[in-house]
Structure 1
Amino acid sequence: MRLRFSGVCRLCGASLPARTEAIYESGTKTVRCLECPSGTETPPRNPEPAGEQPLPRESGIAGSSARREYERRKAKDEERLRGKWGRLGGLAVALSDERQSTKAWDRGAIGEERLGVVLDALASDGFAVLHDRRIPGTKANIDHIAITPGGIWVIDAKRCKGRPELKIEGGILSPRVEKLLVGRRDCTKLVDGVLKQVDVVRELTGDVPVTGALCFIDADWPLIGGAFRTRGVQVLWPKRLAKALVEQSGDLDVASIRDLVASRFRPA
């Protein structure tokens, strides 16, 4: 089909702009570029012994739960318009703009998908990533969990306009208060959300270092500097995040920690 909205190939991670011809997989509500195989080809007659190859490990699909929620809301909005306008429902759908609350889920899904491509490109024996993982007992999810030899990163992807800044109030005669501003909007609650996710992961992994990160995809970052830390949470952009992950050294067993985290935090 010709895509109505931009997406990311679930197999190779290639960006697929709107109106690109691609394959839509209704079962998972994901897209696949025409160059990638379907995954249904006949396997070789004499495969290598299982013990000689590492078992495949699914990292999950970045932005999948946000994409599903967007499609659900979009379908519900269109159904409401068709019910209201009857025979003119199709025309009403074509002429109506999407509600902002619905668009927000699309924007969020795109941000997670784009960051997922960056993180997947880092995958190696010393780096693992899990996308879109459900927090047990809740409806909330963690966008990305990266495991490096130096520790675990809990990453929240955001698409916000404006420049992220750290505003500090008090500190001498009054308590020090750190606020995260994005285009002069107080977004401190985003830091609170990441800290809660960090605590949940830390409960599972014990002494393994866990770092929280807010990664702003389309923010107005300055040419020099820009990244900062607030209350232990790193605030940065995709390339800077990738650099920080690659540079983190240590002697942790990435594979075993990845399996432990994946067993607790299932795909959303």
Structure 2
Amino acid sequence: MADAQAASCAAGALGEQRTAILLAPLVHAGWEVLHDRAIPGARRANADHVVISPAGRVFLVDSKLWSAKKGTAVVREHDGRLWHGTRDADKAVDSLLFETRLVARALGVPVQPVMAVHNAPVANDGFFVRDVPVVSAERLVTVLVGNDGQRDEAGAWLLAERAKRVLPPYR
């Protein structure tokens, strides 16, 4: 049990590192990207990546590093639930929605959750489960940029400063 939990934590950290690399170019385009942040009101949960667009839109990106066992481990939606191959993975959506509510409350603005999946293929080039977009990690930046709006650099900067204050680095 402890070995499986340690392996899961290591995979999670690797997925977060890979996502951080993918998000890095956004910083040069005026986006604020905060990695591994504590969430007020959540004892053990952390925000993998809080991304604030130049329009002041906030995205909570959850990184998943899931196995691609011989092509049978497709990530998909079925009957309103998230599946990874034959495994019901809907608990990941529950967790992300919980974290999103807490981050939105802490910031006082709407927050859009996004799940970015590494390794395992994602059905239909991405899909929604309970209003959560699930995309392959390779499509993440395209999805974020495509959901930005009209630039509000001053508003985005103020929001980013608030996020840095109320969502400190996770320890």
- TM class by shorter-chain length? 0.7 to 0.9
Question: Matched residues in 2 for 1:250 and 1:202: separation?
Answer: 21
Tell me the TM-score normalized by structure 2: 0.85
Question: Matched residues in 2 for 1:215 and 1:107: separation?
Answer: 14
Give the match for residue 147 of structure 1. 52
Matched ranges for 1:116-127 at <5 A: 116-124=20-28, 126-127=30-31
In structure 1, what residue type is equivalent to 2:133? Q
The alignment-based identity, stated in percent, is 30
Higher share in helix = 2
Tell me the TM-score normalized by structure 1: 0.56
Matched ranges for 1:10-89 at <5 A: none
Question: Matched residues in 2 for 1:150 and 1:245: separation?
Answer: 12
Task: Identify unmatched segments of 5+ residues in structure 1.
Answer: 1-76, 78-98, 169-177
Shift in alpha-carbon separation, 1:111–1:142, aligned structure 2, 3 A: same
Higher relative contact order (CA 8 A, sep 6+): 2
In structure 2, what residue type is equivalent to 1:159? L
Larger gyration radius, structure 1 or structure 2: 1
Higher share in strand = 2
In structure 2, what residue type is equivalent to 1:167? H
Q: Runs ≥4 in structure 1, deviation > 3 angstroms?
A: none
Give the match for residue 134 of structure 1. 38
Within the candidate set 65, 68, 77, 1:166 is matched to 77
Deviation of 1:125 after TM superposition, in Å, equals 5.3
Deviation of 1:186 after TM superposition, in Å, equals 0.5
Within the candidate set 105, 114, 128, 1:213 is matched to 114
1:260 aligns with 2:162: yes
1:112 aligns with 2:16: yes
Question: Matched residues in 2 for 1:116 and 1:164: separation?
Answer: 21
How many pairs are equivalent? 159
Task: Identify unmatched segments of 5+ residues in structure 2.
Answer: 68-72
Deviation of 1:258 after TM superposition, in Å, equals 0.8
CA contact (8 A) 1:157 1:216 kept: yes
- Any idea what the Cα deviations from partners look like across 1:203-262, whole Å, max 9, x if unmatched? 1333x331101111111235xx32011111110122211001122223442211111111
- Any idea what the Cα deviations from partners look like across 1:133-179, whole Å, max 9, x if unmatched? 011242321111000115100111111122111112xxxxxxxxx11
Question: Matched residues in 1 for 2:129 and 2:5: separation?
Answer: 28
CA contact (8 A) 1:228 1:236 kept: yes
1:189 aligns with 2:91: yes
